Structure 1
Amino acid sequence: MLIMAAAVKPLLPLSPSPVRLLPSSLPWIPSRPTSTSTTLLPTLRLSERRADVSASVAFNPSGSFDLSLDGDEEDSSKIALPMPPTEGRFEVVIDNDAIRGLDLSPFQVATGITSPLSAEPKDYLERTIGFSINYTREDPGDLRELSDFPDIRLWFVRLDATYPWLPVLLDWRAGELARYAAMLVPHQMNMRMGVVFNPEALELFIMNKVMVVYTWLKKHNVPKPRLKTSDMAKMLGFGIGDDLFNLIDQHPLDPS
């Protein structure tokens, strides 16, 4: 089985050598784009040495990304624009007051999800959920991206802690999943490539969400929960093997 390893090119080096994502015993495989989701999925070019594959993962603030296996600088700069927001999606509008008060009521009112137990995934998977962040900077000259403001990130940390399965319901093709990840995963900004994630942190984020989302979808009898969960991971550049899902099934947990 081919195991996926990743080396991310940050502005400052994270380590002197490429960072391997997972030990060879875990069921990771390189992801490939599907015919129905080519706008945001990466295109992987396998090297001749299939036993030692490295990946350069680069995200931009709009949520699209490029991923190349040979570390080519020119390829890393080819960032596609996200698609327009899904028509009729649930739009969550948050402002400074909600953010600084860690107030989740704008999300609850917009989506109707008043508690983690009240959400039925089938009501949201097709329509999807997106965010509009109306954040007024104290300094108008502050050019940081929204994902660089600690108070905004803290609001999303609380949201994610309350609704840990939320990523599967987001408007992926409009870049909402990548933007959501940027709120929760350490990263650095690159003027050319956009947001470049810490590879180990991104790995842990993906693994956590795969386990949570797959279990939640199964609990609600959503058809093909493995496929839906795998598609979510592919949107962030990862492929998931059946062995991992089999392990989760062998030791089931009751999600909230």
Structure 2
Amino acid sequence: MATIRPLYPLSSPLKQCINIHSSTPWIYSKSTSDSPVSSIQLHTNQHQQRQVAAGVAFNPSGNYDLSLYDDENDTQKAPPPMPPKEGRYEVVIDTNIIRGLDLAPFESATGITSPLSANANPKEFLERTIGFTINYTREDEYDPRELSEFPDIRLWFVRLDAVYPWLPVVLDWRAGELARYAAMLLPHQMSLRMGVVFNPEALELFIMQKVFVVYSWLKENDIPMPRLKTKDMARMLGFGIGDELFDLIDKQIPTSS
């Protein structure tokens, strides 16, 4: 029986309840030291420093009870994400757009209007990528919460994700857009030292759901090397995906040809 395994162990019951009848793990552990993107520091059970390619952190120890001002000094702060990619599609949303659950700014900025696929060349979206500028007015100017902690902002992204579930694969990963997008959809806590700390079980489920959606979308649009692109997306959030999973998907889902 093979189980889901992130790059770093999670104390999660998900490892025991999601499995397949195979002798080979289809999600496996491997190093991300060769990742081309900015990395962050992760906090392990042994309080060691580890690297994972992402713009924000998840807590691989499974400890979700963190202090906002965690005072441990043995882990350096994560470096900031890279600047936005030049020429990317920029989606600008404000308070009224967010509270009205209006997706028109996204559709007008990108030209994407079909829920199933981009009505322009998907390869162009993969090349240029997509990012978000959020101009949100706090009712209390001294409100210390991050944008991902405001329920109305998160609800807007929930709706966006429901309409365009393949969107994570075309985001500006290097600038941290994938990590911020995940933070809008997943339970997490804020840490001054570690940044955003995801609920580990929620992160596992999110990754798996997006692997299924993104891989199918890439194949439907005849994108070269859909497995590699899907693996890269998962790796950005700390998970390695084995070919055995894609073999199973290919057996169950007919190809577009």
Q: Fold-level match, TM-score > 0.5? A: yes
Amino acid at match of 1:203: E
Query: Residues 61-93 of structure 1, C-alpha deviation per residue, up to 9 Å, x if partnerless?
Result: x93448878x9x666544122111000000000
Cα distance, 1:254–1:242 mapped onto 2, change above 3 Å: closer
The Cα shift of 1:113 comes to 0.5
Contact preservation (8 Å) 2:39, 2:78: no
Cα distance, 1:76–1:160 mapped onto 2, change above 3 Å: farther
Contact preservation (8 Å) 1:42, 1:67: no
With the length of structure 2 as denominator, give the TM-score of the two structures: 0.80
- Give the equivalent residue in structure 2 for 1:11: none
The Cα shift of 1:39 comes to 1.8
Contact preservation (8 Å) 1:214, 1:225: yes
- Give the equivalent residue in structure 2 for 1:188: 189
Distance in 1, matches of 2:36 and 2:240, equals 14
The Cα shift of 1:7 comes to 5.8
Cα distance, 1:179–1:116 mapped onto 2, change above 3 Å: same
Amino acid at match of 1:113: I
The Cα shift of 1:4 comes to 2.5
Contact preservation (8 Å) 1:164, 1:209: yes
- 3-state DSSP of counterpart to 1:22: helix
Distance in 1, matches of 2:219 and 2:202, equals 26
1:198-213 alignment to 2 at 5 Å?
198-213=199-214
Q: Which residue, 31, 47, 63 being the options, matches 2:55? A: 63
The Cα shift of 1:20 comes to 5.0
Give the alignment's Cα RMSD to 1 decimal: 3.4
- 3-state DSSP of counterpart to 2:128: coil
The Cα shift of 1:183 comes to 0.2
Query: Between Structure 1 and Structure 2, how many residues are aligned?
Result: 236
Distance in 2, matches of 1:20 and 1:113, equals 38
With the length of structure 1 as denominator, give the TM-score of the two structures: 0.80
- Give the equivalent residue in structure 1 for 2:68: none
Query: Residues 195-239 of structure 1, C-alpha deviation per residue, up to 9 Å, x if partnerless?
Result: 111011000000000000000000111000000000000000000
Structure 1 residue runs of 5 or longer lacking an equivalent are: 9-17, 46-54
Structure 2 residue runs of 5 or longer lacking an equivalent are: 64-71
Cα distance, 1:142–1:44 mapped onto 2, change above 3 Å: closer
Percent identical pairs in the alignment equals 61
Cα distance, 1:121–1:42 mapped onto 2, change above 3 Å: farther
- Give the equivalent residue in structure 2 for 1:102: 101
1:1-256 alignment to 2 at 5 Å?
4=5, 18-19=11-12, 21-23=14-16, 25=20, 27-33=26-32, 35=34, 37-40=36-39, 63-65=55-57, 76-119=75-118, 120-252=121-253
Distance in 1, matches of 2:50 and 2:204, equals 11
